[in-house]
A and B are shown apart, each in its own frame.
Chain A
């Protein structure tokens, strides 16, 4: 078995574990879901450790590596949120959200020999990527919860779920937004040190600013009764922009890689 095969086996284990954990939670079988979730997270952690061992520094560089980190963020964040705010009912959304980036890694080039080019050898590298990954993880959960709440509201006319979902989305987004802000602005500080320009309007930067501004619209929309009807629409649009920033800008050559072409 090659290192690549081992990583594939671990990723498949993580995907299956997270997926089955989600199904078990929806079916109300917490006693099955818990070991499945832990096993999936352990497999995810093993992929992260193997990546780190192979590249010799924090594996936050390529898209494949950051998605592995993203998958790893959900369980600890869920435990923090459950402890602090009674959001234990978000467990299925967290397990579903954990599964998505890991599925993505199955179709990505692993580039196990990836090395940090000089521009990435900066103290900003880990905090910039890590804060983005944690915020993306939380905002993905908020999105999954929003879709679930809207589904229940639209098809089952369950208004209580929508109100509870609104509150949960607000709490999760409040937790995520400062990290998203730090990711965005630490990138600007880093760019100033590396290239002498805080902002170059390259596609990844512009899309990250669109994402940030749309979450800002979401927060402002909540502030008055008149504008509250735009709140969920702004959140949905912001998540679409987030996916574009994180995935589409890199995958679609039409968008152009710009200064983030190595990610």
Chain B
């Protein structure tokens, strides 16, 4: 057991080395170093040995926990070795179809089909608050929330008249001055929703159109496309991330096996589990 503790302690030291910032940036390259990968291989091998030990099969929670770690490690290794990924920004236009994705090192990955972003839309929450600034220097005082009844979170004597806050169309004014001289400036609204419509074109098949949103990636011929961001400056563009990961299923199964195994091991008393 001492060996397991040493290995886990070394692992923690690696995590610490990658978590503590150097010149303001955590040195996460350490997690791609051969030494770290070898260490993870040792953890994985240790789990295999633990599963193979005598009479361990009588404790399903124990086996599932260690099996989960092995599956996650194998899936991650397969994805690291044989996976492809790309992050790119593309204009929203049917004419800008691409059949290859750029890699971080400047090379490109052929897709085997053509991809174009043909439409995108975004929606915002109503403004949530104003920032309050006090004269004479107009230093920031605090954020003043807009309450559900469209009043401001201020004492009644400072409450501005409704027409001072919103115009005839209901749009919130960007600035207003309170009776005590403090100035309110609207906080830019938070994005509520955005989506992009992707069109896939292939020589041997009709074009296929799919809509991707944040948290709702689109899968096409082994590739998964994720909507990361969008911009309207200077023209409408979206940021997409694309991933082809043959180890994905292994990792997902491993994660669920690990969750179930941990719950089994910790929550079901040993005699009952056996």
Contacts and interface: CB of A to CB of B under 8 A. Distances in A.
Contact of A206 (B5, B26, B146): B26
Given A203-B19, A216-B8, A220-B8, A3 B226 contact: no
Contact of A227 (B2, B143, B154, B191): B2
Interface string B137-165: 00000010111100001110000000000
B9 A224 contact: no
Contacts of B76: 198
| Majority secondary structure, A binding face | helix
A226 B3 CA distance: 11
Contact of A201 (B31, B128, B241, B262): B31
Given A54-B145, A54-B148, A196-B224, A223 B262 contact: no
A152 interface: no
Interface stretch (B92-100, B109-117, B198-206, B250-258): B250-258
Contacts of A224: 1-2
Contact of B5 (A54, A202, A220): A220
B214 A206 contact: no
A196 B217 contact: yes
Contacts of B90: none
A209 B9 CA distance: 12
Given A181-B259, A224-B1, A195 B28 contact: no
Interface residues of B, number: 58
A112 interface: yes
B21 A256 contact: yes
A222 B262 CA distance: 16
Contact of B148 (A53, A174, A190, A207): A53
B5 A213 contact: no
Contacts of B5: 217, 220-221, 227, 230
A195 B190 CA distance: 19
Contacts, number: 147
Contacts of A203: 19, 21, 26
B215 A118 contact: yes
Contacts of A188: 255
A163 interface: no
A111, A117, A186, A198: residue with the most chain B Cβ atoms closer than 10 Å = A198
A209 B128 contact: no
A201 B76 CA distance: 14
B143 A111 contact: yes
Contact of B9 (A177, A202, A217): A217
B170 interface: no
Contacts of A113: 128-129, 143, 145-146, 187
B16, B76, B266, B267: residue with the most chain A Cβ atoms closer than 10 Å = B266
Interface in A15-31: none
Given A2-B153, A115-B128, A220-B1, A210 B16 contact: yes
A214 B217 contact: no
Report, nearest first, the 3 A-B pairs whose CB atoms are least far apart: A113-B128, A118-B214, A112-B145
